[in-house]
C-alpha cells in the first residue's frame, strides 16, 4: 500500500497506474498523491482526466476540498503573442525572470518553434 505517491511526466501514463496508486491508499485517513506533467495532446493520457477533474473542482461543479491543482493554460491572446512578446515567457516560466540562462534557452527554443512546425508542439507545451 502506498502511503504517498509521486508521478512525474505522467502524460506518458494512461489512467490505470494513477488509479492503482489511489486505490492502494483507500484505508488511509490522510492520502497524498502528487501528479506532475504537461498535458500534451495525445489521447491516452492521464493528464486529460486529471485536468478535466481539476477544472470541475475549480469551477465548483464538484466539491473536493482536499484536491489541489495548479494549472497554466494560455488563452488565445497569449498564444497569438508567443512568437513576439517576451512577457509571455516570464508568465509561463517564472524561473526565467531571475535566470538569464533559462530565459535565453527559452528564446532559442521559441526561435526553433517559429522556424520548424515539428518543434512547436513541444515548445507550446513546455515553455
Please tell me the distance from the alpha carbon of residue 37 to that of residue 30, in angstroms, as a whole number.
Answer: 23
pLDDT of residue 127: 67
What SS3 class is residue 33?
Answer: strand
Share of the chain above pLDDT 90, in %: 39
Domain ranges of the chain: 4-58, 76-126
SS3 content of the chain, % helix, strand, coil (to 5): 55, 10, 40
pLDDT of residue 24: 92
Residue range 84-91: mean pLDDT, rounded = 83
Residue range 101-106: mean pLDDT, rounded = 94
pLDDT of residue 20: 92
Q: How many CB atoms lie within 10 A of CB 107?
A: 13
Find, among 72, 53, 80, the residue nearest to 126 by Cα: 72
pLDDT at residue 25 tops 90: yes
Which of residues 79 and 119 earns the better pLDDT score? Answer: 119
Helix (H) or strand (E) holding 8: strand 4-8
> What are the cell numbers at 99?
535566470
What pLDDT band is residue 103 in, cutting at 50, 70 and 90? Answer: very high
Please tell me the distance from the alpha carbon of residue 57 to that of residue 86, in angstroms, as a whole number.
Answer: 32
Helix (H) or strand (E) holding 58: helix 46-58
Q: Tens digits of per-residue pLDDT, 35-77?
A: 988 777 667 788 888 999 999 999 999 999 999 998 877 667 7
Please tell me the distance from the alpha carbon of residue 51 to that of residue 34, in angstroms, as a whole number.
Answer: 13
Amino acid at each position: 500500500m502506498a502511503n504517498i505517491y509521486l508521478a512525474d511526466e505522467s502524460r506518458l501514463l494512461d489512467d490505470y497506474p494513477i488509479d492503482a496508486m489511489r486505490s492502494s491508499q483507500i484505508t488511509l485517513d490522510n492520502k497524498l498523491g502528487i501528479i506532475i506533467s504537461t498535458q500534451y495532446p495525445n489521447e491516452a493520457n492521464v493528464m486529460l482526466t486529471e485536468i478535466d477533474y481539476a477544472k470541475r473542482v475549480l469551477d465548483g461543479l464538484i466539491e473536493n476540498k482536499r484536491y489541489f491543482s495548479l494549472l497554466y493554460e494560455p488563452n488565445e491572446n497569449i498564444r497569438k503573442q508567443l512568437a513576439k512578446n517576451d512577457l509571455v515567457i516570464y508568465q509561463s516560466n517564472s524561473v526565467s525572470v531571475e535566470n538569464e540562462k533559462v530565459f535565453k534557452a527559452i528564446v532559442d527554443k521559441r526561435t526553433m518553434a517559429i522556424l520548424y512546425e515539428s518543434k512547436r508542439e513541444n515548445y507550446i507545451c513546455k515553455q
